[in-house]
Amino acid sequence: MAAQRVVEGLTQAGVHTDALGDDEHGIFIDPAGERLLTTRRSQGLAPARPRQPDRLLQDVDALLADNHFPGFVLPICAAARASNIPVVLDIDKPTELSDPLLALGSHTIFSAEALRAASGIDQLEAALDRAAKYCRGFVAVTDGIHGVLWLAGKARGHQAAWTVTAIDTLAAGDVFYGAFALALAEDRTENEALRFASAAAALKCTRFGGIVGTPMRTEVEQLLNE
């Protein structure tokens, strides 16, 4: 029922959900505020492959994918790159740097934990340098309140996190990736996209809830202007 309400909400927001599959999950929060995500997926989901990757990309200006089911997203990412569509990869599941999916991202963004696990290097700047040898284009790592480190060719930089009073960080990462992909789809520069995404994620942390705590564009733009 919860999944159905999410799909209905996406539909009302104008998001096409025809290609969604069945997935059941829950989020448990203990008295100390620690979260545990549990997911039950069909046994046939892991080997599933998209039948028509090109069709999924119709009218798409930017593709956002994670690495939880690399076999499924690989052909979609390959089709997007062939069509010069930006491919934003959300790498929050530990993987090897030789993972073929990493070579398909135009913008590959690791969580700090995933980058350390993939590179075997604890220091994030050095870990990012190593990851850049396997990833094409823009590579970055998110590190919570410490902001985002990024590399693009010989250029490198840091996007500071916004200073806010955090109430609930649930879904802040998802908001960040979604906002970053949206900004690229609107032809913003990578620096602008990072700033927009960081502001959106910060606002999410100031309110309770996952998807219900997602800020509106006007709120993000107001924070950016301030």
**Sequence-distant (≥ 6) Cβ neighbours of residue 33 within 8 angstroms:** none
From first to last of its 226 residues, what are the pLDDT tens digits of the chain? Answer: 556 776 777 777 777 776 665 554 555 556 666 655 555 555 667 788 998 999 999 999 999 999 999 999 999 999 999 999 999 999 999 999 999 999 999 999 999 999 999 999 999 999 999 999 999 899 999 999 999 999 999 999 999 999 999 999 999 999 999 999 999 999 999 999 999 999 999 999 999 988 889 999 999 999 999 8
Assign 79 to helix, strand or coil: helix
In this structure, are strands 63-66 and 87-91 parallel, antiparallel, or unpaired?
Answer: parallel
pTM: 0.84
- Provide the 8-state DSSP code for 140: E
Q: What is the DSSP string of 190-202?
A: HHHHHHHHHHHHH
Residue 203, exposed/middle/buried by CB under 10 A (0-12, 13-18, 19+)? buried
The pLDDT, as a whole number, for residue 54 is 94
In the chain the beta strands, taken as DSSP E runs, fall at 24-29, 35-40, 63-66, 87-91, 107-111, 138-142, 148-152, 155-159
Which residues make Cβ contacts (< 8 Å) with residue 18, sequence separation at least 6?
none
Given CATH 3.40.1190.20, say whether it is the number of domain 52-161.
yes
Coil/strand/helix, residue 7: helix
Instruction: Give the pLDDT score at 39.
Output: 58
Structure tokens at 50: 């998209």
Per-residue model confidence (pLDDT) at position 48? 84
